[in-house]
């Protein structure tokens, strides 16, 4: 094994993974979750997660809350571990928001029948179609600056995540691990058991695989995909899966949905008042159906506050795990904060099937209407030799039909977003891969 990136199961201080002696520790962010075990304040959770900080081992973190970072800094100070914080020692510059345009999506869309078997593999469905979109940024690091870094993961928060990974790689390079320094010069492996093994030379395959260079980092960053995280798994209808399993993730998804799919705004903020749409800079104007299931140890009210503003219809469900929150509890709160249609389908697979089949039926109806209007346009265009007055009238009819045809095309792009729990995301993904993508 060239490298091992080990994630804690929960917290850190008492987690089984804490027996390891890493070269770098990373605490990406903090959110209120697992309160029964980690505590119900950011300070308590920071103390638990800060338990992975090791003596004289650098800590990379994207934590921004003042109270939490103070706890981490105190632990690091006691263990003489240097701290590298996003926004201070390193940061990302440029492309502050990630927006997908209509033209980009239409370029990517293709018939499911064109998908190869490899593209339907469970780990990367539609990868070649929906993960070609790139966003770029400049990494201003601890000692280096790398321009034009590219990722294919949508969402502004993924730029920060990528920057944390880059800072970690830079620190490993500074330790001379992987034989390469930040300047690209070859060096002997530093803090590694390989130097003690005479059977493994500097040119061995394992040593070569450990090599970190700016080029290899760029390639790795661009090749990274993340199933179940802002993953456009289908395009007709458009289906987006995002685990969004805690408050921080729900906030990120909510911002993304508002930016790319629209926020439903109601006069005077009153439920049931006339609906208005915030359309500026949006990718889509179509209806958005949310399928949401949340675990019982999450702050569901706060999460729903972020997840619901973009939704036209909400389906509450529950994963096959005893920690799933009763969908009725979610519904009871949702109806107090949104006028969107709210229903309950407890089984995740059934909820997904209901939403997708309903969207497919609408697409079929819209296609039939579009075909009928196209025939009207054709008929109107054949009478170009009539009198000028008649021709003008027919031209107006043709223009009106064209606009109606365009509107129907827009309506075809109904979007379904599945979120709230990684368990829900996993069950939904399994259903889609088995019963929808493989049909073609």
Cis before 74? omega within 30: no
Output the CA torsion sign for 249, 251, 257, 259.
Answer: negative
Q: In this structure, how many other beta carbons lie within 10 angstroms of the beta carbon of residue 40?
A: 11
Torsions phi, psi of 305, nearest 5?
Answer: -60, -35
| pLDDT attached to residue 382 | 56
Buried b / exposed e over 116-127, threshold 16 CB at 10 Å, is eeeebeeeebbb
CA distance 401 to 372: 10
Torsions phi, psi of 23, nearest 5?
Answer: -85, -30
Query: Quick one: 233 exposed, middle or buried, by C-beta within 10 A (0-12, 13-18, 19+)?
Result: buried
| pLDDT attached to residue 61 | 98
CA distance 124 to 366: 30
| pLDDT attached to residue 319 | 98
The parts of the chain modelled with pLDDT lower than 70 are 1, 95-133, 177-210, 262-285, 369-413, 439-440
Torsions phi, psi of 15, nearest 5?
Answer: -75, 145
Tens-digit pLDDT profile for residues 170-191: 999 988 765 443 444 433 333 3
Q: What angle do CA 131, 119, 439 make, to 5 degrees?
A: 120
| pLDDT attached to residue 397 | 57
The sheet that has 238-241: what strands, in order across it? 231-235, 238-241, 415-419, 288-292, 313-318, 341-347
Domains of the chain and CATH, by start: 16-223 (3.40.1190.10), 231-356+412-437 (3.90.190.20)
- Give bridge partners of residue 290 from the DSSP assignment: 314, 417
Query: Do residues 225 and 127 lie in contact, with contact meaning Cβ atoms separated by under 8 Å?
Result: yes
CA distance 259 to 282: 6
C-alpha distance across the termini of the chain, in Å: 38
pTM: 0.69
Q: In this structure, how many other beta carbons lie within 10 angstroms of the beta carbon of residue 69?
A: 20
CA distance 320 to 424: 8
CA distance 396 to 375: 15
| pLDDT attached to residue 170 | 96
| pLDDT attached to residue 205 | 59
The total number of residues written for the chain in this structure: 440
- Indicate the Cα dihedral angle 283, 288, 293, 295, nearest 10°: 40
């Amino acid at each position: 094994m060239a490298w091992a990136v080990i994630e804690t199961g929960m917290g850190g201080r008492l987690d089984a993974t804490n027996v390891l002696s890493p070269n770098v520790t990373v605490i990406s962010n903090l959110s209120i979750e697992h309160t029964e075990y980690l505590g119900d304040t950011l300070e308590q959770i920071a103390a638990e997660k800060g338990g992975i900080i090791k003596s004289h081992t650098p800590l990379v973190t994207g934590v921004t809350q003042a109270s939490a970072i103070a706890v981490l800094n105190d632990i690091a100070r006691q263990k003489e571990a240097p701290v590298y914080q996003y926004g201070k020692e390193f940061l990302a510059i440029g492309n502050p928001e990630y927006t997908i345009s209509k033209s980009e999506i239409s370029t990517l869309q293709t018939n499911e029948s064109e998908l190869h078997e490899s593209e339907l593999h469970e780990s990367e469905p539609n990868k070649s179609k929906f993960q070609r979109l790139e966003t770029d940024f400049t990494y201003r690091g601890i000692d280096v600056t790398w321009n034009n870094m590219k990722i294919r993961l949508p969402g502004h928060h993924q730029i920060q995540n990528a920057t944390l990974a880059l800072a970690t790689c830079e620190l490993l390079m500074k330790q001379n691990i992987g034989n390469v320094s930040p300047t690209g010069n070859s060096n002997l492996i530093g803090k590694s058991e390989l130097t003690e093994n005479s059977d493994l030379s500097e040119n061995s395959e394992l040593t070569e695989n450990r090599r970190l260079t700016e080029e290899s980092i760029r390639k790795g960053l661009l090749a990274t995909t993340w199933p179940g995280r802002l993953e456009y798994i289908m395009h007709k209808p458009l289906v987006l899966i995002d685990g969004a399993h805690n408050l921080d993730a729900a906030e990120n998804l909510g911002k993304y949905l508002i930016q790319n799919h629209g926020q439903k705004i109601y006069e005077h903020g009153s439920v049931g008042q006339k609906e208005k749409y915030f359309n500026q800079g949006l990718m889509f104007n179509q209806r958005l159906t949310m399928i949401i299931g949340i675990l019982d140890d999450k702050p569901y009210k706060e999460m729903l506050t972020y997840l619901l503003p973009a939704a036209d219809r909400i389906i509450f469900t529950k994963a096959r795990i005893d920690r799933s929150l009763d969908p009725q509890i979610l519904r009871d709160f949702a109806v107090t904060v949104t006028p969107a249609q709210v229903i309950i389908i407890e089984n995740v697979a059934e909820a997904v099937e209901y939403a997708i089949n309903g969207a497919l039926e609408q697409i079929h109806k819209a296609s039939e209407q579009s075909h009928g209007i196209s025939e009207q346009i054709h008929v109107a265009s054949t009478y170009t030799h009539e009198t000028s007055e008649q021709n003008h009238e027919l031209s107006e009819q043709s223009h009106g039909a064209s606009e109606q045809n365009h509107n129907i095309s827009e309506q075809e792009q109904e979007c379904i977003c599945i979120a709230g729990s990684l368990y829900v995301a996993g069950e939904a993904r399994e259903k889609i891969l088995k019963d929808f993508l493989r049909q073609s």
